[in-house]
């Protein structure tokens, strides 16, 4: 098993849990352990791809949550 640690930037800590849920079904063989400010990934192979995907999912979740109020306002304006 390969193992790698990924630092989670300060502004991304609140997005870790939702991103981990998504990663759980995308990579069922990937084991993820949360440390204070990092995530430790363990996988049989392809860890470079998994590490890149973890970073991408964190970024994606941040964008989703930060733009949710805007999308809600737009939707409310269309439905009225």
Q: Is the pLDDT of residue 35 over 90?
A: no
Element (H, E) at 59: helix 47-79
Say which CATH class 2-79 falls into.
alpha beta
User: What is the Cβ-side half-sphere exposure of residue 71, based on CA atoms within 13 angstroms?
Assistant: 6
User: Which residue's structure tokens are 């993820």?
Assistant: 32
Helix (H) or strand (E) holding 40: strand 38-43
pLDDT at 9 exceeding the cut of 90: yes
Is residue 73's pLDDT more than 90?
A: yes
pTM of the predicted protein model: 0.83
Domain ranges of the chain: 2-79
Distances (CA, A) of 19 to 9, 22, 31, 55, 74: 14, 5, 14, 9, 25
């Amino acid at each position: 098993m390969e193992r790698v640690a990924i630092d989670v930037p300060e502004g991304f800590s609140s997005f870790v849990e939702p991103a981990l849920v998504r990663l759980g079904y995308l990579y069922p063989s990937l084991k993820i352990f949360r440390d204070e400010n990092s995530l430790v990934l363990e996988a049989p192979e392809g860890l470079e791809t998994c590490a890149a995907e973890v970073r991408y999912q964190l970024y994606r979740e941040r964008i989703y949550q930060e733009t949710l109020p805007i999308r809600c306002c737009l939707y409310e304006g269309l439905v009225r």
